Every structure is written in structure tokens, then in C-alpha cells.
Structure 1
Amino acid sequence: MPVGTLPARNASAGRPPTVRSIWLLVLRLVRENPGWSYRRVHSELLALGIKVAPATGGEILNDAGVDPAPERSATTWAGFLRSQAEALPACAFLETVTLTGARMYVLAVISAPDRL
């Protein structure tokens, strides 16, 4: 082999492609658990006995166009209140000033007796 040339690359060398069932499983886990990062997905795959590289989940999510966990799981205030509506049937937020001039903020929550 002449100096400065590289040997021919073996076509079968390198990491094998990720099978479709793992792709679908990763996307399903993230869809059902939007707060999970690719690292958490990797841990869950290991718990299921699926051995993949730690970055495989991140690559799958990136290739599928799925945003990183903090952007996926951002909950709006309205969404939070909707999810807690059964536990917090009535609440009020008010501001008051004491006789000394101190400003106080009060959150009053009223719940039905059977939910205490």
C-alpha cells in the first residue's frame, strides 16, 4: 500500500442500524411520558432487557423531529389547573394590606369534605 493512502473501508464495519421495533418503542415511550429525557428512555429500555447505546434514544428522537424533554413537557398554567380541577374545586388568590402597611398575598383553597 502506498504511503498516505487508507485501506478500503469494510462495508459491514460499524454499528448496525437500529431495528424498527426499537424506534417505535422509543417514540411511544416519549409520547406517553413527555417529561422523559433520552437518558430516562435508555434506562427504561435497559429495564426491559433491550441493550442499546445511551445516545441511541437521543438520535431516534432527533431524527424523528421530537424536541428535547424540557420543551416537550412545558406545562401551561391553564393546563396545570385543568389537571388539578378535581382536587381543587374552588380557590381564590387575593392581596391584602395589614394595619402596619405590609402587603400579603393569600391563596385560599376550599375543598369538599370527602376529599380531605
Structure 2
Amino acid sequence: WEPTLVALGHCMRKLCRFAAAADCYSAALALCPASPSTLAAMGFVAQLAGDPRVAVEHYHAALALRPDDPFTTDMLRAALQEYAEAAAAEEEAAAAAAGFAPGRFSAFG
């Protein structure tokens, strides 16, 4: 059943049903936990769903099993870049929020 679940996961991913795709891949991994291609697919779905941190975790797990996989290596690089950009944006937003004092720039002040 593992190949069928992976194929169904790919179909769900192509339909942009990322949670359903992740469920299919998780079920496939329950049957065959050492599948680097399924782990990479889990990473890809997480990345498409906007969660680069989870994507990086899955890509690392996939590369631990198949270190020379070019797709996973390229996608890991992209996910790390997305994660760094998201972290920088969060830090910038936090700094801006910390520097904002209500009433400080009041026109009536």
C-alpha cells in the first residue's frame, strides 16, 4: 500500500490540498519509515504550505538516508533561505513593535 499512498499524496499536493497530502505521506511513512523520497515529499508539502522549518526537518531526514539526492539538496537550500527570511521578518516586526509607543507621535500631543 505504501506506493499507492505516496501516489495519492502526490495527487493531493498537485491539487494544493497540502494537509491531505501530508496525511497520505505520513501513512506511507508508517508502512515504510526509511523512504527518503517520501520524507522529501513531506518536506516539499510543508514548504509549499508555508512551513519552511518543518520542511527543513524532513529534508534533513531524507538526506540522512540518501545524501546525494539533488532534488532534496536543492529544496533544502531553498527552505533554509525561506526560513532565514521569515526569521528576519519576525525580528524586524518585533523590533518595530518594541519601538512603537502609543501616543508618542500623537498629533494632539
* Superposed pair shares fold, TM > 0.5: no
- Normalising by the residue count of structure 1, what TM-score does the alignment of the two structures yield? 0.30
- Normalising by the residue count of structure 2, what TM-score does the alignment of the two structures yield? 0.31
Highest CA radius of gyration, 1 or 2?
Answer: 1
* Richer in strand (by share): 1
